[in-house]
Structure 1
Amino acid sequence: MKILFDGIPLDQVSVSMTMNGAVLPVLAGYIVAAEEQGVDQKRAVRHYSE
């Protein structure tokens, strides 16, 4: 995920992912990538919790 989202400001875009049985590791990787960019965890997953 870090490589996939490199150069994309995750605090300024909306990311849509199709989720299946691998949802936990995929979402965790996305959250870590966002946190490494300095994005607050709640902001990173705002669309998944609504």
Structure 2
Amino acid sequence: EPLPTEYKFDGTHLIADLDQPVFGLATGQALVIYDGDRVVGSATISETF
């Protein structure tokens, strides 16, 4: 289920700041960025905190 998220790319890392707490995120999972129904980016989660 899509979640509202603010993100920034520092040239090396994509940093996602979720608007609400999410449980069960783990390294190795995919983060997929959508614009409506269109996929505009993706990354592999390397760290959670």
What is the TM-score when the length of structure 2 is the normalising length? 0.26
Of Structure 1 and Structure 2, which has the larger fraction of its residues in helix? 1
| Structure with the larger strand share | 2
State the structure with bigger RCO (CA 8 A, min sep 6), 1 or 2: 1
